[in-house]
Amino acid sequence: MKSDKAYKLLAKQEKISNRAAKELIDRGVVFSHGRKIVVARAEMPLTTKFKIIEIKKSKKIFEDEKVLAIDKPAFITSEEIAKKEGYPLLHRLDKETSGVLLLSKDEEFRKKAIEEFKKQNVLKEYIAWVEGVIAEPIEITAPIETIKSKNALYSKISSKGSEAYSYVEPLMIEGKFTKVKVTIKTGRTHQIRVHLKSINHPIVGDVKYGGREHKRIMLHAHKISLLGYEFISKEPKEFEKFF
């Protein structure tokens, strides 16, 4: 059977450049037969048909002279939001994580906010769909170590790691999946993803940390409170019910 690289086939199907096709695959929004295409150069049959998930636009939740709160959609990086808005980030969300993202418009406010993060005075609530049934709240305090390489970050539970705290509460159970609220005091790299994996309830779509394939990682930054501010991002429609 004749084949070609995935990004070239996508470019022909969508009548876009090879570069644009590769960028779509790298973002994680290209699927074929219900499975996400993760390698742009993968050889695929010439008859392959692709489906592209629409990337939603970011929206402003709140803005004043000190802070800008953005409702970040999935598949866009925090750095892209910062570049678009022209202000530095106060924290980051992973590319496929949606929800509240904060940027600083004032240097004095930025310094105060950073101190609040360090002192664990910032409340952060997330919503996630996980595998398995969680019937009771769970407190997770396992330390997390992050390993950095040229192209990627990977975190794991380790006695050599930094302090990390997550509190998991079940919100809804559907079949063998549970929607949970996760409140964190610390902000370690991939903290929620690693902590949920450590209790054998990985996030749906989080293949990197043991979850099954899905259209996206089902993690949403729902609420953040600091320095007298509180910002909320309503959960996306796909979070309301899993099935």
The set of catalytic residues is 94
Cα distances from 234 to residues 74, 87, 169, 217, in angstroms, run 14, 23, 18, 17
Is 203 in contact with 168 (CB distance < 8 Å)? no
Angstrom distance (rounded) from CA 145 to CA 154: 8
CA angle 167, 88, 182 (to 5 degrees): 10
